[in-house]
Amino acid sequence: MSSVPDRSEVDEVYTWDLESIYATDDDWEAAYEAVAERVDELAAYEGQVTDDAETLRAVLELRDEIMREVSTVAAYARMRRDEDTTNQEYQALTARAQSLAADAQSAASFIDPEIQELTREEFEEMVEAESTLETYDHYVDDVLRMKPHTRSAEVEELLADLSEVTGATGEVYTMLSNADMEFPTVEDPDGEAVGITQSNFVNLLKRPDREFRQRVYDAYYDEWESVRNTVATAYKNSVKADVKTAQARNYDTAREAALDGPNVPVDVYDTLVETVHDNLDKLHRHADLKAQALEVDGLEMWDVYMPLTGDEGPDVDYEQATEYVVDALEPLGEEYQSRVAEGLDSQWVDVYENEGKQSGAYSGGTYDTQPFILMNYQDDISSMYTLAHELGHSMHSELTKDEQPFVYSGYEIFVAEVASTVNEALLTNHLLETVDDPEFRKHVLNEFLERVRSTLYRQTLFAEFEHKTHELEEAGEPLTADRLDDLYQGLKADYYEPAAIDDRIAREWMRIPHFYRAFYVYQYATGISAALAIVDGILPNGASDEPNRDAAEDYLEFLRRGSREYPLELLRIAGVDMSTSEPIDRALETYGERLDEMEALLE
């Protein structure tokens, strides 16, 4: 029997406050109907978008109003579904909201192609006639930049209509992995049955009993083996959709298309992979050190998540975690710090796992709502870091909304992962400076090393896998389950050379939901690199000294800018140049230094 509670058993104080969006589902229904009717208003402007400055302003403002409302309707439905992915009612609401979002995108699809008929000079003349259009200056620059990859209004409408279909494989995967798959129970060393879930799998692999870890590992991946062909088919078609969509937009490759959206050169991707490969020796050293710490002859894949301390680590309950996180954010200023504390007291966070709940963690919400954070908190150091991470996203959204209009309120993942990882780095510095308990400090240091391993190295491995799978599809090579397993297993062998690479680990690609959002994961690796550079600037001599308030203010300005500039330009505001390998080299140098510290502690 599962030890995971039903949602009704979770104390309300540990759940997010979705009623702050819509008090009842009936209110959601009314909002849905109202905005669905407004979508048709856009049609009146088709063929007239650039007739004059006043019309251009009117259509852009109308589109923003509609998209704001649609995003709120969609967010509520999705978060209700994520509370319990087996709930048929909220599955239906989510499907309706997704269809509405696709309809809205389709209805607005004529706008960008018509704007692209303008020259830059003509737009500037419109700004002179209608000064409020100046707000859209960067947006129009981005639209004009994309002209070679924007099709006719008719084709754009078709592509928008198809977006729901081309994204369907990700939905299939989500329902399979979170709602339909039932992972087995295994017996722990005390003879108790322990249920494996998507959320607790990694934590179970941190248990000190090695035979138990192997039972968990085998049972988990054997369950994935039972759906191997289904998942391979879903992923194959996801890759195919990426490639076909890129071709429809006149790109040579799906990777080029994905990176061109946020205007990130493909050289940044390649530099990341090359720099990480040049530093695999550090990861290999980490693996060897882990084998020594665990006192095993060779590291097995079910040992990889074990901390260097050789045990499960100290418990950190949610209340203690929130205190640590809030205190760690002091270098960013009192306003930032107090706003986080306020949010934690205002039900931003859905804290604990429950039956059917979406696995993992994310920060959600919209321009017109408070932030919402989904967690599956496990009372450990790792969960505390995840909380800090998601709060970074939430505060990025909050500061952006303070300063930017809706059109710039979103931001690319390339910069989003910086905000989250800065919080993690500040937490590490704070804990190492303020907690005296040597065992706790050892676990904090281990957490830092694991974050770099799993964020910089692991996500780069994933990035290589994605690149290679898309290259195979583009070359007309079949993406079979065997081919995917072999490709992944080969990469795992390169990255974890000192460890034993078994056949089950070849299936690990099946459990990665981010693969259904292609060329997404590399940004975790670039994000941690940029974040460590930013924190070095804010705390040049460590957390014990007065922070550099100018550097902190530059960082906060970066957060406030939203998407008003392109990602590389935004990061330069914060003092980081991601067009070079320097931030990645610096992060990996810090990783090596922390390995030295841990090695000394273990001796």
C-alpha closest to that of 22 among 62, 60, 57, 73: 73
Whether residue 593 has pLDDT greater than 90: no
Q: What is the pLDDT of residue 1?
A: 41
Same domain, 414 and 274: yes
* pLDDT over 70 percentage in the chain: 99
Contact 385, 451 (CB under 8 A): yes
Structure tokens at 389: 């991470």
Q: Are 367 and 74 in contact (CB under 8 A)?
A: no
Whether the predicted pLDDT of 478 surpasses 60: yes
Mean pLDDT of the chain: 94
**How many CA atoms, within 13 angstroms, populate the side-chain half-sphere of residue 72?**
25
The terminus-to-terminus CA distance of the chain in angstroms comes to 43
> Which has the closest alpha carbon to 4: 200, 224, 176?
200
Closest CA to 513 of 170, 251, 276, 193: 170
Please give the tally of structural domains in the chain.
2
Both 457 and 561 in one domain: the answer is yes
Q: At what angle do helices 413-434 and 522-538 cross, to 10 degrees?
A: 50
Residue 212 lies in a domain: no
530 burial (CB, 10 Å; 0-12 / 13-18 / 19+) is buried
- Is 599 contained in some domain? yes
The mean per-residue pLDDT over the stretch 475-494 comes to 97
Catalytic, 390? Answer: yes
Quote the CA–CA distance of 375 and 148 in Å, as a whole number.
41
Same domain, 264 and 141: no
441: pLDDT confidence band, cut at 50, 70 and 90?
A: confident
**Which run of H or E residues covers position 384?**
helix 381-403
- Residue 248 has a CB neighbour count (10 Å cut-off) of 16
For 49, the enclosing helix (H) or strand (E) is none
What confidence tier does 544 reach under pLDDT thresholds 50, 70, 90? low
**8 Å CB contact between 373 and 347:** no
- Contact between 576 and 533 under an 8 Å Cβ cutoff? The reply is yes
**Averaged pLDDT, 543-565:** 92
* The pLDDT value given to residue 309: 87
The pLDDT tens digits for 172-210 are: 998 998 889 999 999 999 999 999 998 889 989 989 999
Q: 222 falls in which pLDDT band (50, 70, 90)?
A: very high
Q: What is the CATH number of the domain that holds 141?
A: 1.20.140.70
Mean pLDDT of 493-497: 95
- Model pLDDT, residue 2: 55
CA distance 161 to 146: 20
Same domain, 439 and 561: yes
Q: Is 334 exposed, middle or buried (0-12, 13-18, 19+ CB in 10 A)?
A: exposed
Do 427 and 525 have their domain in common? yes
User: Does residue 570 have a pLDDT over 90?
Assistant: yes
Asked if residue 185 belongs to a domain, the reply is: no
Note down the domain range covering 434.
Answer: 255-306+401-603
| Residue 183 is assigned to a structural domain of this protein | no
State the DSSP code for 503: S
Domain-terminating residue out of 166, 191, 217 = 166
- Same-domain status, 135 and 261: no
CA atoms within 13 A on the CB side of 59: 23
In whole angstroms, give the CA distance from residue 109 to residue 397: 26
Is the pLDDT at 158 greater than 90? The verdict is no
Same domain, 414 and 537: yes
Nearest 10 degrees: Cα torsion 5, 6, 12, 13:
20
408 and 530 share one domain = yes
- 231, HSE (Cβ side, Cα atoms, 13 Å): 25
Half-sphere exposure of 265 (CA within 13 A, CB side): 10
User: Of 141, 166, 191, which closes a domain?
Assistant: 166
Residue 109 lies in a domain: yes
Is residue 74 scored above 70 in pLDDT? yes
356: left (phi over 0), alpha (psi -120 to 50) or beta: left
Which residue is catalytic, options 390, 424, 447, 508? 390
Summarised one tens digit per residue, pLDDT across range 369-428 is: 999 999 999 999 989 999 999 999 999 999 999 999 999 999 888 999 899 999 999 999
pTM flag (> 0.75): yes
Do 527 and 264 touch, CB atoms closer than 8 A?
no
Beta carbons of 69 and 62 less than 8 angstroms apart: no
Q: Do 451 and 531 touch, CB atoms closer than 8 A?
A: no
What is the C-alpha to C-alpha distance for residues 222 and 228, in angstroms, rounded to an integer?
10
Report d(CA 489, CA 508) in Å as an integer.
9
Return the percentage of the chain with pLDDT > 90, whole number: 84
Give the E-state strand segments of 72-211 in sequence order: 185-187, 193-195
- Same domain membership, residue 297 and residue 150: no
CATH number of the domain within which 566 lies: 1.10.1370.20
Residue 128 lies in a domain: yes
Cross-strand partners of 350: 374
Q: Is residue 543 part of a domain?
A: yes
Confidence band for 160, pLDDT divided at 50, 70 and 90 = confident
The confidence score (pLDDT) of residue 150 equals 82
Q: What is the mean pLDDT of residues 53-72?
A: 98
**Is 40 among the domain residues?**
yes
Cα 516 to Cα 240: distance, rounded to the nearest angstrom: 11
Residue 486 confidence (pLDDT) above 70: yes
Give tens-digit pLDDT for 86-109: 999 999 999 999 999 999 999 999
Query: Quick one: pLDDT at residue 152?
Result: 81
Both 272 and 148 in a single domain? no
Find, among 314, 552, 535, the residue nearest to 424 by Cα: 535
Q: What is the pLDDT of residues 327-370, one digit of tens each?
A: 999 999 999 999 999 999 999 999 999 999 998 899 999 999 99
Domain-ending residue, one of 166, 197, 217: 166
My answer on whether 415 and 288 are in the same domain is yes
The owner of tokens 């995971």 is 4
- What average pLDDT does range 554-560 have in this prediction? 98
pLDDT at 543: 63
- In the numeric block, the tokens 């302003």 are attached to 57
Residue 540, φ and ψ in degrees, nearest 5: -65, -25
